[in-house]
């Protein structure tokens, strides 16, 4: 048989046996029939084979089709991440949430948020659009950041990032975002964000910057916090002692908004929002009047190795420079 006749035979065969590719289901009843007749009633097999159609369900916000998959026994935890990720991202891109809401999973969302670039964070667009439903949905499933700038990574805790969102919403009068935060269970964070001057303190303690341009350097940044811990006190004790009582009496713009926050309460609040501040378990923080290097107990010798390892970790993560690490290391060794 010649090449020409062979090609003709193959073409005829293709016409006789049409492609098995299926059209996108029109409705839940058609999808149910497809799953029953072509996939033996296995909804997960359908999603695996028809991953592109599964993605389109998110793009087109076809919650009815996703619900049918669930009714047919879809096990979301068995769907590969490479199949789920396009589904999520299409929902984000198209600002469609009903279909995603049916299968959203905190673990999957955490991976997507962690891997997202600064312009593709799941929460960013909903917050900027003042979108209540999307913001609440994402917050309730663990999303927490709209900012991947260098200073926030490794400095803010998850609640610190939520405070950043709340502070942004307060400044921009995004009432729907604030309502979403409150309804998602973060009312205390919203209250802190509304406290004049409080976000300035969190930002400046985290970065070692200045408050309102009037106090000079509040701290030398996280290096000084680490040094305070190395001298024997809790990091939060040292943080307040170093900041000075002026922090309690002045908010942004020179107001007295923060005077109503007690020393110990401010320590706890900062510990909640800053990853570099750790409150000791079950211990009451010292007051600002007594927290200083003279009355701080020395580090037990058995803890020296652990303290050096912790400082090395801060250096490796870029929190401490090599010079800062060596200086604090020398302090620890000398004190031991």
**Cα end-to-end span (Å), the chain:** 91
141 found inside a domain: yes
Within this chain, do residues 241 and 123 fall inside the same structural domain, yes or no?
A: no
- Boundary-marking domain end, from 143, 159, 194: 194
Within this chain, do residues 142 and 91 fall inside the same structural domain, yes or no?
A: no
C-alpha–C-alpha distance, residues 192 and 274, integer Å = 14
5 found inside a domain: no
Within this chain, do residues 311 and 281 fall inside the same structural domain, yes or no?
A: yes
Within this chain, do residues 336 and 218 fall inside the same structural domain, yes or no?
A: yes
Within this chain, do residues 36 and 157 fall inside the same structural domain, yes or no?
A: no
290 found inside a domain: yes
- Boundary-marking domain end, from 130, 165, 194: 194
Within this chain, do residues 170 and 205 fall inside the same structural domain, yes or no?
A: no
Within this chain, do residues 85 and 124 fall inside the same structural domain, yes or no?
A: no
C-alpha–C-alpha distance, residues 158 and 249, integer Å = 27
| Plot region of 185 (φ>0 → left; ψ -120 to 50 → alpha; else → beta) | left
Alpha-carbon Rg for the chain in angstroms: 28
Within this chain, do residues 81 and 180 fall inside the same structural domain, yes or no?
A: no
* Sequence-ordered strand ranges (E) for the chain: none
Per-residue pLDDT tens, the chain, 336 aa: give them: 554 455 455 445 544 444 455 689 999 999 999 999 999 999 999 999 999 999 999 999 999 999 999 999 999 999 999 999 999 999 999 999 999 999 999 999 999 998 887 668 999 999 999 999 999 999 999 999 998 887 787 789 999 999 999 999 999 999 999 999 999 999 999 999 998 888 888 887 777 654 433 333 333 444 444 444 444 444 444 444 444 434 444 444 433 345 556 666 777 788 889 886 554 444 443 332 333 333 333 434 445 676 677 677 667 766 567 876 787 777 767 665
Within this chain, do residues 228 and 140 fall inside the same structural domain, yes or no?
A: no
Q: What is the pLDDT of residue 78?
A: 95
Q: How far is CA 160 from CA 85, 99, 124, 283, 289, in A?
A: 26, 30, 16, 22, 27
Give me 316's structure tokens: 């490796």
| Residue 208 burial class via C-beta count within 10 angstroms: exposed 0-12, middle 13-18, buried 19 and up | middle
DSSP state of 171: H
Which residue in the block uniquely carries the two structure tokens 């009068």?
A: 173
Within this chain, do residues 296 and 251 fall inside the same structural domain, yes or no?
A: yes
Which residue in the block uniquely carries the two structure tokens 């049409």?
A: 18
For residue 286, give its domain range. Answer: 201-336
CA angle 296, 301, 304 (to 5 degrees): 85
187 found inside a domain: yes
277 found inside a domain: yes
18 found inside a domain: no
C-alpha–C-alpha distance, residues 162 and 152, integer Å = 12
Helix (H, G, I), strand (E, B) or coil at 167: helix
Q: Packing angle between helix 222-230 and helix 322-335, nearest 10 degrees?
A: 10
Within this chain, do residues 144 and 122 fall inside the same structural domain, yes or no?
A: yes
In the chain, the number of structural domains is 3
- Boundary-marking domain end, from 194, 215, 247: 194
250 found inside a domain: yes
17 found inside a domain: no
Within this chain, do residues 98 and 45 fall inside the same structural domain, yes or no?
A: yes
Which residue in the block uniquely carries the two structure tokens 């303290």?
A: 307
Nearest Cα neighbor of 233 from 95, 131, 335 is: 335
Residue 10: CB partners within 8 Å, gap ≥ 6?
A: none
């Amino acid at each position: 048989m010649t090449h020409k006749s062979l090609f003709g035979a193959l073409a005829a065969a293709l016409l006789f046996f049409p492609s098995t590719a299926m059209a996108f289901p029109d409705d839940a009843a058609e999808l149910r029939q497809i799953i029953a007749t072509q996939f033996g009633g296995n909804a997960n097999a359908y999603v695996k084979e028809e991953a592109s159609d599964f993605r389109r369900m998110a793009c087109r916000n076809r919650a009815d089709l996703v619900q049918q998959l669930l009714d047919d026994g879809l096990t979301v935890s068995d769907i590969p991440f490479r199949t789920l990720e396009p589904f999520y991202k299409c929902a984000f891109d198209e600002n469609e949430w009903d279909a995603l809401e049916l299968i959203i999973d905190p673990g999957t969302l955490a991976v997507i948020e962690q891997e997202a670039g600064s312009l593709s964070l799941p929460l960013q667009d909903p917050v900027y659009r003042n979108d209540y439903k999307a913001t609440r949905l994402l917050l309730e499933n663990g999303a927490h950041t709209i900012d991947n700038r260098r200073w926030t990574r490794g400095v803010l805790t998850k609640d610190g990032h939520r405070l950043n969102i709340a502070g942004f919403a307060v400044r921009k009068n995004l009432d729907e975002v604030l309502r979403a935060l409150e309804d998602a269970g973060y009312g205390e964070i919203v209250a802190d964000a509304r406290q004049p001057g409080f976000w300035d303190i969190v930002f400046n303690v985290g970065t070692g910057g200045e408050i309102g341009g009037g106090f000079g350097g509040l701290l030398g940044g996280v290096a000084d916090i680490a040094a305070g811990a190395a001298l024997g006190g809790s990091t939060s004790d040292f943080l307040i002692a170093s900041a000075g009582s002026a922090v309690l009496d002045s908010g942004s713009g020179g107001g007295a908004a923060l005077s109503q926050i007690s020393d110990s309460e401010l320590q706890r609040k900062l510990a909640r929002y800053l990853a570099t501040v750790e409150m000791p378990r079950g211990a009451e923080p010292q007051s600002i009047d007594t927290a200083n290097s003279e009355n701080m107990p020395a580090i037990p010798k058995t803890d020296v190795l652990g303290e050096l390892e912790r400082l090395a970790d801060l250096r490796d993560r870029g929190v401490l420079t090599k010079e800062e690490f060596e200086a604090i290391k020398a302090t620890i060794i000398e004190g031991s």
